[in-house]
Each structure stands twice: as structure tokens, then as C-alpha cells.
Amino acid sequence: MNAVGLAEMLVRVTALNAAYAAAIDDDRLEEWPGFFVDQCLYKITSADNLRDGNEAGIVYADSRSMLADRVLALRRANIYERQTYRHIVGTARLIGSVAGEIRAETPFLVVRTMRDGRMDLFAAGRYRDRLADQGGELRFRERIVICDSSHFDTLVAIPI
Amino acid sequence: MNAVGLAEMLVRVTALNAAYAAAIDDDRLEEWPGFFVDQCLYKITSADNLRDGNEAGIVYADSRSMLADRVLALRRANIYERQTYRHIVGTARLIGSVAGEIRAETPFLVVRTMRDGRMDLFAAGRYRDRLADQGGELRFRERIVICDSSHFDTLVAIPI
Amino acid sequence: MNAVGLAEMLVRVTALNAAYAAAIDDDRLEEWPGFFVDQCLYKITSADNLRDGNEAGIVYADSRSMLADRVLALRRANIYERQTYRHIVGTARLIGSVAGEIRAETPFLVVRTMRDGRMDLFAAGRYRDRLADQGGELRFRERIVICDSSHFDTLVAIPI
């Protein structure tokens, strides 16, 4: 990619990341699967897991319908209702572009606010993404959420 | 807006947000009202307040001179002097453009550092903004600061 | 600079900041000196120190080889191994451009994750940078890390 193509792609990836985070933080979870292609891979794991070659992850979905199922389960459980999450997403680094696919890595931080006003650092880490253009819209083929911590809340309530 | 217009507008909004945050964090509070048009609306509120239709807000100003008065009051009170604030502002999402007015939403996080070195999460939330070009400079017509927490320090010391 | 030149420069500075942070957070410390020109200045200090005219700083290096020495020392000490760091870097503000040199200021936040999963705010502050193009790549002539807190861990383990 030339400099113009690079800047344009960076703007598109940045806008996608911002829309993704806002859908979660605004509790529009039903929109979340729409950021992925049909045959996608979404995984929450830790840097330690990756280093150890442990492919399982804490959360795993390999299709958009599995993501939609997850949202339904979260809505039924209602466990996240008492908290608010705020994603602060850093600048995407474009790692490369192969066969119409963009690879990017992006740091993130998620702050949680309890109903009583207490705030804490819920998660920090980086996204490892493979992105593709689908009918003019950028979508995730793969989003691996690599958390810095290996200690997850017994159930990771929301998408990260 | 076309893609070029969108990218250019995103750069301008991003630059405005960065300048705004730096003026506060560098303790150049007197510059803060200058980021707004004369007849503006500035409000600090919470997501719960908005949901409940409570329009009041914790902090409210509907003109630039009210913002200037607030800065004078803060300087007299000197209450913020013992702390430092650091805004980390996320990527602006451009929601729309109507009649020369840009609408944007942007997540933020404010970290507070006490004189003894302790740091805490002071505020997290999102800005809901209406922006207009005024003589070549982008300015806020409206900045609604929507905090994730409804529990505010008895007095919100600084602008957010 | 005109608007196009400004946007292009902002993209380049932003990409440099993202690559710099990722090299540290991914534990590719050996790449860190490569972000600087040979005769550089790197300093970690506090806002209080700067205000008092104290030029010393907590960490000081005035050449790339001093930075490389510091990385070697860190590798030998191994003290940072039990922790993970995550830089969240805000938007760069371009302060000016003099004689082919860019000046920028950029807020940052560093979150630390312990081996047992505990996370804390490790540092917040701003970078004060002087940048130059070196053979087509943007490099730091000077990076002053101005921390909001004056209370440093007895040894600042990693580059910030």
C-alpha cells in the first residue's frame, strides 16, 4: 500500500474499532455480530495461553450465529446489567495486507463502573485482527482478544 | 459526506478533542471556554440521568460567559490544585451532519493523580457533541459529558 | 503546513507512537532504541520536576547506545518479567514545525498487570517530543516523558 492507501485504510479500521466498542458500551449488543463476516473466528484468550500454545480461549465462536447465540444468552442471564463498560481503544497498527485481507493489532483498555459508582480496570490487552471488505464495509474475519491477564472473571460477561 | 470529506472531518474533530483535553490537563483552564461558540450548551450528566429523562445535569452552562465564570470560581476555590487530571480520549464517531453541524460521540477516560502519587480512575463515559465551523475553526455548540457513574464527587472540580 | 500536510504528518506521528508502544508492550525491547536518532535525548521526569527547573529526570539517556545499554541492563535484571504493561496513547497534538523538525505532545496512560491478575494504573502523563525524518522514517530526536506523579517506583522498570 502507498501512503494514501495506508492512511485511508487506517481511518477505516479506526472507524470500525470505534463503532464496535460503542455498540458494546451503549448496550446495543444485538449489533455486535454484524461486525463479523459469517464464517468468522472470535476468541478471548490471554498472552500466557497464546505463548503456551493453548488454542482454546475463554470464549470461542467460529460463526456469526454463535455470536448471536451468545448475545441471547447474555440477555437472558442479565448478569451484566448492573455494570457499565467503557472501551478505550488505541491506535491500530496495520501489520500487513495479504490477498485483500488486512491484518492489524490494536491495544485496548476496558473500564468497568459498578452501580454504586466504583470503577475498576476490567481488562487490558490487544486485539489481533484479520479484516476484509464485504460489500464496501470492513468486517472482522477474525478477532482474537489477547488479554494481559490470565485471570478472568468466572464468566466474562460481555464481549470485549 | 464522501470518504475524503469524512476523513478530513475526523482529523479536525480529533484535533479539537486533543486540544480541549490538553488545555484542561495542562491547567490552561482560561482557554477552555474558547472551544465553545457563544451560545453553547455544556453539561455534565450520567447515563442514568439521561435514561430517566432528568435534564438537569450536575454541571450546566448555556453560554461561553457561564463557562468563564466557572473557571473564575475554580481559580478562587483552588480545590483542584492538589490533583492532576489526564484525559485519554478515544476515537470520535461521526454520527451525522445536518445543516453545517457535525454530530459526534467520543469515549473518554480521566485519570486523577494525587499529590502523594496515588492514581485513580476519576471518570469514564462519552461525549455527545454538536460541532460547527466558526470562521475556519471547529467549535462546540453543545458538549454533553455523559459519565458512566452517577456518583459524582460532591463537587466536580474540573471541566471534563 | 497546509491541511493535507498536517493530516499526513498526524498519521505518521500516530503510527510511530503506536509502533513504539507495541514494541515495549510486546516485550520487543531491543527494537526500542531504533525509534530514536543516534544523538537523541530520552528522559523520564515529572511535571513537578519540570516546574521546579530540575533538569535531571529519573531516567536519562542522550544517545541511542545508552538506550541499548538500558535494555541490556533490564534483560539482565529480569525485574519486569512478572508484569505486563499496556500503553494507551492518546492523540498527538502537533505543536509546530521548525527547520524540518516536528514538535508534538501526546497524552499516555500505562496499565500494569501483575502475574496474579491484579491490574493497576502504572503511569499517566504526556510525551513532549521532537521528531525528524531520517531516510523516510520518522524518529525521535527527543522524547521527554512527563509523568503526572512525582512518586516513581524505586526503579522504573520499563521504558515508558
Whole-angstrom Cα distance, residue A77 to residue C100? Answer: 58
The mean per-residue pLDDT over the stretch A107-123 comes to: 93
CA-CA-CA-CA torsion sign (C102, C103, C106, C110): positive
Q: Name subunits touching A (3+ CB pairs < 8 A).
A: B, C
Q: How far apart, in whole angstroms, are the C-alpha atoms of residue A136 and residue A115?
A: 40
Give yes or no for A6 touching B (CB within 8 A). Answer: no
**Which pLDDT belongs to residue A53?**
85
Length of chain B: 160
**pLDDT score of A2:** 62
Using a CB–CB cutoff of 8 Å, tell me whether C58 touches chain B.
no
3-state secondary structure chain B: CCHHHHHHHHHHHHHHHHHHHHHHHCCCHHHHHHHEEEEEEEEEEEHHHHHCCCCCCCEEECCHHHHHHHHHHHHHHCCCCCEEEEEEECCCEEEEEECCEEEEEEEEEEEEEECCCCEEEEEEEEEEEEEEEECCEEEEEEEEEEECCCCCCCCCCCCC
pLDDT at B8: 82
A3 band by pLDDT with thresholds 50, 70 and 90: low
Give the least confident one: A93-107, A143-157, B22-36.
Answer: A143-157
C-beta separation of B152 from B124 below 8 A? no
A111·B91 Cβ contact <8 A: no
pTM of the model: 0.94
Q: In the predicted model, what is the mean pLDDT of chain A?
A: 90
Of B93, B120, B150, the CB nearest to A18: B93
Average pLDDT of the residues in A23-52: 94
User: Is pLDDT of A16 > 80?
Assistant: yes
Report pLDDT for A51. 86
Which chain B residue has its CA at the smallest distance from C48's CA? B115
Q: Which among B91, B124, B151 has the least Cβ separation from residue A116?
A: B151
The shortest CB-CB distance from B86 to any of C7, C125, C151 is to: C125
pLDDT at B6: 75
Q: What is the pLDDT of residue C8?
A: 82
What secondary structure does DSSP assign to C53-117, as a single string? T----SEEESSHHHHHHHHHHHHHH-TTTTEEEEEEE---EEEEEETTEEEEEEEEEEEEEETTS
* Residue A154 pLDDT exceeds 80: no
Residue C80 reports pLDDT greater than 90: no
Most C CBs within 10 Å, among B84, B112, B114, B137, to test the C interface: B84
B79 contacts chain C (CB < 8 A): no
Contacts of A125 in chain C (CB under 8 A): 86
Chain A CB contacts of B109 under 8 Å are 86, 88, 109, 111
pLDDT score recorded for residue A81? 60
Q: In this predicted complex, what is the ipTM?
A: 0.91
Query: In 3-state terms, what secondary structure has residue C31?
Result: helix
Interchain contact A8–B (C-beta under 8 A)? yes
Sequence-distant (6+) residues with CB within 8 A of A28 are A22
pLDDT given at position A34: 98
pLDDT of residue B112: 94
pLDDT at residue number B1: 53
Q: Cβ–Cβ of C117/A10 closer than 8 Å?
A: no
User: Is C11 a residue whose pLDDT tops 70?
Assistant: yes
pLDDT tens, residue by residue, C98-141: 888 999 999 999 999 998 889 999 999 999 999 999 999 999 99
Q: How far is B14 from chain C, CA to nearest CA, in Å?
A: 7
The whole-number pLDDT of residue A158 equals 84
In chain C, the percentage of residues whose pLDDT exceeds 90 is: 66
Q: Which residue has the higher pLDDT, A67 or B53?
A: A67
Interchain contact, A124 vs C113, CB within 8 Å = yes
What is the rounded distance in angstroms from the CA atom of residue A54 to the CA atom of residue A43?
A: 12
Residues B12 and B138 sit within 8 Å (Cβ to Cβ): yes
Can you give the pLDDT at residue A93? 96
Q: Is C19 on the interface with A (CB under 8 A)?
A: yes
- Which carries the bigger pLDDT value, residue C11 or residue C104? C104
Chain B residues with CB under 8 Å of C10 CB are: 11, 14-15
pLDDT at position A1 is: 53
Subunits next to B (3 or more Cβ pairs <8 Å) are: A, C
A51 CB burial (10 A radius; 0-12, 13-18, 19+): exposed
- The pLDDT assigned to B156 comes to 63
pLDDT value for A64: 97
* Contact assessment for residue C3 and residue C21, using Cβ atoms and an 8 Å cutoff: no
Residue B151 has what pLDDT?
82
> What per-residue confidence (pLDDT) applies to C156?
63
Using the beta-carbon criterion (under 8 Å), do B107 and A11 form an inter-chain contact? no
The percent of residues in chain C predicted with pLDDT above 70, rounded, is 92
pLDDT confidence of residue C55: 76
Does residue B63 sit at the C interface (CB-CB below 8 Å)?
Answer: no
Interfacial A residues in 99-118 facing B (CB < 8 Å): 109, 111, 113, 116-117
Query: What is d(CA A131, CA A158) in angstroms, rounded to the nearest whole number?
Result: 22
Of A4-13, B79-88, C43-52, C84-93, the range with the highest mean pLDDT is C84-93
The confidence score (pLDDT) of residue C100 equals: 84
**Most distant pair of Cα atoms in chain B: their distance:** 50
Q: Bigger pLDDT: C92 or C96?
A: C92
Q: Does B14 touch chain A (CB under 8 A)?
A: no
Size of interface A-C (CB pairs under 8 A): 60
- Which residues of chain B have a pLDDT value below 70? 1-4, 78-81, 153-156
Decide if A6 contacts C14 (C-beta within 8 A).
Answer: no
CB A9 within 8 A of CB A94: yes
Please report the pLDDT score of residue C105 as a whole number: 98
Is a pLDDT exceeding 60 seen at residue C51?
yes
Q: Do A126 and C88 touch (CB under 8 A)?
A: no
Distance from CA of C4 to the nearest CA of B (A): 9
C92 touches chain B (CB under 8 A): yes
Contact criterion met (CB < 8 Å) for C18 and A151: no
Residues C22, A107: C-beta atoms closer than 8 Å: yes
Contacts of C83 in chain A (CB under 8 A): none
Whether B15 sits inside 8 A of C93 (CB atoms) is yes
CA distance linking residue C47 with residue B50, whole number of Å? 37
